[in-house]
Chain A
């Protein structure tokens, strides 16, 4: 079982007058097959936390441990923009992040491309695909390394509402099939309520303000009353914490 443990994590950028606190003393424990959303206003340190967890950035202080059954866990990452190599085909983009190019690895990549409905686009270049398809490749790439934990940084924020909705469903199906631990950054409360078991609310200055449990069965339809009520409750919480700009 995967576990993400964050203890006393702080991150600052710049020095002196230019000093900006991105994260302040964040403590967190995420365990097992859960879908956890990190929500909060822009600049509250959500993406910074994800970057530190995935090793792109180093913390100023504090400790991060990501384990899977007492060994170091392998993370996968889905970015805001797909971040594909434009000069490599769809299949080569997946193979780029693999440890080898064996037949078995190729078959695995093919399997995940089929899961995102791009099994027939393996030889295409990213420039030949739509934005939604590119993001699908990004999702397949993250799943294809069969990671223990998955970090996602606003993966649907660049897409139109209809594409984003169908991708959310695909992602959720994949999550339920593969039983990964997911940390999902979003600024869309509706998206967080639709997808997550747990919502971590961040405030400006990088403080973790609240940890909300959403105990509703999956799949959730945003049009359903229970889901709408849950969304309203989370938004009320935002108001209580003064996170909604007037």
Chain B
């Protein structure tokens, strides 16, 4: 007689359901980080390494503009510095988006244009931010132009690669369908091509934004006399780890807030048509599956070329 192996009920019980939920895991992460921080603080016994409370008090004074020490040596407060950095990020980000979209579209459509740009896009992708940060400082001086250009240099290749893959993965079968029904080209562009590019465009936005930040802060450290990067450098020079860590956390919280309050709702709105099931198992012709395949394809390609595989995650929305 055939027997079926089953899991014992006692093994299934274990932890309560809410403990096993992804939400709990997400909430747990900062507490784990805080625990590790305390552990290091007490084991290191360093006069330089601050405790979480010390950083919190320091940042509270910064945010409420009540720091006595700070304003004797730094001309602008946290909001002004952050505003400068945000302005630089926004301008650079939009330039990267426009430039990357134009080049990415051209590379996706034309093999010649792709051949022309391909190696250089990969070269810029592989270039350490420090190299262009130093160069921009030397070339453009301590103005806003350097940091803005740093965002453009960091972000554009990510936009290019994502948009190029989006164009290469246009759903041929849907275009043929439209053609057989004699749908005009402008309608095909609006209802087929642009929506099929959206997952790749959103991936481009997210990655360009994330790497733009990194390039910008490094450039502000070396090639600017204002902005958040420069402020972090200021506290580094002053041997005040409170400032370095505190400002870094301020950054992280802002980036997370932007992700949750702007990017996530935008993506949810743009992709509300996606069923809440495993994307890979969807029917033929579904762009989710196409986009996932594109990502795998791209990752394989990047691995072969020895480039960072975190470049494009076109289907991960």
A79 at the interface (CB under 8 A from B): yes
Given that A76-B181, A77-B180, A128-B275 are contacting pairs, would A83 and B173 also be in contact in the complex, using a CB cutoff of 8 Å?
yes
Stretch at the interface among B64-72, B213-221, B283-291: B283-291
Check if B180 sits within 8 Å of A75, measured CB to CB.
Answer: yes
Q: How far, in angstroms, from A85 to B283 measured CA to CA in the complex?
A: 12
Q: Does A91 contact B (CB under 8 A)?
A: no
Q: Does B26 contact A (CB under 8 A)?
A: no
Shortest distance from the beta carbon of A4 to any chain B beta carbon, whole Å: 15
Q: Which chain B residues (186-243) contact chain A, with CB distance < 8 Å?
A: 187, 191-192, 195, 198
Q: In whole angstroms, how far apart are the Cα atoms of A126 and B286 in the complex?
A: 9
Contact with B along A71-90 (1 / 0, CB 8 A): 00001110101111111100
Tell me, in angstroms, the Cα distance from A82 to B288 when the chains sit together: 16
| B181 lies within 8 A of A86 (CB) | no
Q: Verify B274–A55 contact, CB threshold 8 A.
A: no
Chain B residues within 8 Å of A76, by CB: 181
Q: Is the CB of A85 within 8 A of B179?
A: no
Residues of B within 8 Å of A41, CB to CB, are none
Quick one: which of A139-184 are within 8 Å of B by CB? 141, 145, 151, 158
Q: How far is the CB of B65 from chain A (nearest CB, A)?
A: 47
* Chain B minimum-CB-distance residue to A151: B180
* A interface footprint on B60-88 (CB within 8 Å = 1, 0 otherwise): 00000000000000000000000000000
Enumerate chain B residues within 8 angstroms of A128, measured Cβ to Cβ: 275
**Which of B180, B192, B271 makes the CB contact (< 8 A) with A85?**
B192
Residues of chain A within 8 A of B288, CB atoms compared: 86, 127
**B2, CB-defined interface residue at 8 Å:** no
| B29 close to A (CB within 8 Å) | no
Residues of B within 8 A of A158 (CB): 284
Contacts of A85 in B (CB 8 A): 174, 191-192, 195
Residues 11 to 61 of chain B near chain A (Cβ within 8 Å) = none
Any chain B CB within 8 A of the CB of A232?
A: no
The B-contacting residues of A in range 119-135, CB under 8 angstroms, are 125-128, 131, 134
- A81-B173, A83-B174, A125-B273 in contact; A134/B283 too (CB < 8 A)? yes
Within 8 A of B (CB), among A42-87: 54-56, 75-77, 79, 81-87
Q: Is B176 an interface residue (CB 8 A)?
A: yes
Which among B181, B192, B287 has the greatest number of chain A C-beta atoms within 10 A?
A: B181
Cross-chain contact A96 with B287 (CB below 8 angstroms) = no
Residues on the B chain within 8 Å of A212, using CB:
none
Contacts of A77 in B (CB 8 A): 177, 180-181
CB contacts (< 8 Å) of B195 on chain A: these are 85, 87
CB neighbours (8 Å) of A86 from chain B are: 273-274, 282, 285-288
Count of residues in A whose CB is under 8 Å from the partner chain:
27
A81 touches B181 (CB 8 A): no
Contact call B273/A97, Cβ cutoff below 8 A: no
Q: Collect the chain A residues with CB atoms within 8 Å of residue B181's CB.
A: 76-77, 97, 141, 145
**Would you call B138 an interface residue if the criterion is a C-beta within 8 Å of the partner chain's C-beta atoms?**
no
A81 to B177, CA, bound (A): 11
Known contacts A55-B180, A56-B180, A128-B275; decide if A88 and B191 are in contact (CB<8 Å). Answer: yes
Chain B residue numbers with a CB within 8 Å of A56 are: 176, 179-180
Interface pair A125/B180, CB less than 8 Å apart = no
Q: Which of B182, B191, B283 contacts A131 (CB 8 A)?
A: B283
**Known interface pairs A96-B183, A97-B183, A131-B283; A83-B273 also in contact (CB < 8 Å):** no
Tell which of B192, B272, B284, B288 has the most Cβ of chain A within 10 Å: B284
**Smallest distance from the beta carbon of B55 to chain A beta carbons, Å?**
45
Q: Please tell me if the beta carbons of B177 and A79 are within 8 angstroms of each other in the complex.
A: yes
Tell me the residues in window 243-288 of chain B with beta carbons closer than 8 Å to chain A beta carbons. Answer: 271-275, 282-288
- Complex-state Cα separation, A76 to B177, whole angstroms: 10
Q: Report the minimal beta-carbon distance from B45 to chain A, rounded to whole angstroms.
A: 57
Chain A residues with CB below 8 A from B285, complex form = 81-84, 86
Asked whether, in the complex, the Cβ of B180 is within 8 Å of the Cβ of A96, the reply is no
What is the distance, in angstroms, from B293's C-beta to the closest C-beta of chain A? 14
- Quote the shortest CB–CB distance from B298 to chain A (angstroms): 21
Given A81-B283, A97-B178, A126-B273; 15 other pairs, CB 8 A cutoff: A56-B179, A83-B174, A85-B192, A85-B195, A86-B285, A87-B287, A88-B273, A96-B187, A125-B274, A127-B273, A127-B275, A127-B283, A128-B275, A145-B181, A158-B284
- Can you list 7 A-B contacts with CB-CB less than 8 angstroms, sorted by A residue number? A56-B180, A84-B285, A87-B287, A88-B191, A97-B181, A127-B274, A145-B181
Closest 4 interchain pairs by CB? Answer: A127-B275, A97-B181, A83-B177, A81-B284
